[in-house]
Structure 1
């Protein structure tokens, strides 16, 4: 049994230790993220603001327990404070500030993105998933927006964040809540079946496909977040590797994707099997084949794809448009 560090939020007022700025860094499923500064050291952090309820407690506790992983964004402090203006209770998560931004934005800036670099990214994502799965935790919202770089340096580390949908898996196929973002949803969730942490393996397959080609394997062509035709293709596991994007991508990469995107969850590899896959484990030996990924990232189609994701985040997150942190 793996031991977790105890989750005990501080009851002192957060403004006694941190200065909270009005700089919004982003929005998660369950709350907004602001920039804050530690008063004693001057170090900048990201502050996630959650309404204090059972779901938020679960998110904060799970993230706290797993943030020792080198590929998971670290939580350094958690406060439970009451807003003296509204009398509402909030959980305030202080996390490391990921200056490098989102995964796909960084790739968009890389005109020479290669298959070897894609394999390294899959390895880093898999490392985070393995840390969770070994502790019987399913993330349930793996997507590029939740993968951030520590800095803009060439050797920056990629880390997983946003545990708003994460949940402990007590038994096989013990999950049933249909949590998903359209492009990354596995067929078992679309079918309202019970599922388990293998849903993360499917989402990893979608991310890997996009990394290597610049476009998702399943998509809606009519502007809907998820169309009937898209659902049918996901349920059937029907996708291909068009020559325009895939002609020079290795067979090993394609074979890995095929295994990750199997419609039957029990047939998908475990995350440890993914990490032992030659293309992932030996990512440094993968050919430096140039990819056209970043070319697609600059097209109108990519902007439409990202807009669907952003709309879904907006619809799913709690309404925290006005949060007042007032020193008591």
Structure 2
């Protein structure tokens, strides 16, 4: 499972530095990542657990929990719903989903990071440990193989191992996105300098 945009937002146990560089995809961003004020927000691996809750919600329902409800809605509207954790299990897709799965999603999509499920609580959750196969059908037929539950558990175990033994994240400055941004900034600066020198 690829963790989109997570490599740049931190985690790890080696240095225990608190990431301060906002890097996210809006629909997957935790509320604490969105709280941009005069200073950069401080956040930890709990924001990744929020994103995992969004991914799990999507796998079980076929839709992301925080999305534009109409063509006129803005990113600000989506951000407001994220900050309040406004999502619902009321659609038809959720009828076949177990109570334990819904409880797990509620635990991951909790606004206060201190009250959100921790990685240890997640690894012990009843829905993940009830059996080797998922009783809750995924709403993504023909996209995910039938062994999705096993793959999810293997991925979770790999993360727990890395969390326990430590892992190193790529330097943000060396990330492809940051390199592209740097090139774009240099190009814009060069263009501005060229225009200024022609005057």
Shift of 1:244: 1.1
CA offsets 1:265-312 (integer angstroms, 9 cap, x no match): 01112112101111112342542x544333999xxxxxxxxxxxxxxx
- Cα distance in 1 for partners of 2:89, 2:69 equals 18
TM alignment of 1:267-286, pairs within 5 A: 267-284=115-132, 286=134
* Bigger proportion of residues as strand: 1
* Bigger proportion of residues as helix: 2
- Cα distance in 2 for partners of 1:219, 1:296 equals 21
- Cα distance in 2 for partners of 1:243, 1:224 equals 22
- Cα distance in 1 for partners of 2:4, 2:139 equals 29
Report what 2:94 is aligned to. 246
Unaligned runs of 5+ in 1: 1-124, 129-138, 143-162, 298-313, 321-328
Unaligned runs of 5+ in 2: 145-175, 184-199
- Cα distance in 2 for partners of 1:215, 1:140 equals 17
Q: Greater relative contact order: 1 or 2 (C-alpha under 8 angstroms, separation 6 or more)?
A: 2
Q: Which one of 318, 321, 325 corresponds to residue 180 of structure 2?
A: 318
3-state SS of paired residue (1:293): coil
Task: Check if 1:292 corresponds to 2:139.
Answer: yes
- Report if aligned partners of 1:206, 1:261 keep a CA contact under 8 Å in 2: yes
TM-score, normalised by the number of residues in structure 1: 0.39
- Cα distance in 2 for partners of 1:207, 1:268 equals 16
3-state SS of paired residue (1:215): coil
Shift of 1:211: 0.6
Q: Which one of 5, 9, 19 corresponds to residue 175 of structure 1?
A: 19
Residue-pair matches, total:
146
Q: Which one of 122, 131, 141 corresponds to residue 5 of structure 2?
A: 141
Q: Which one of 185, 208, 217 corresponds to residue 65 of structure 2?
A: 217
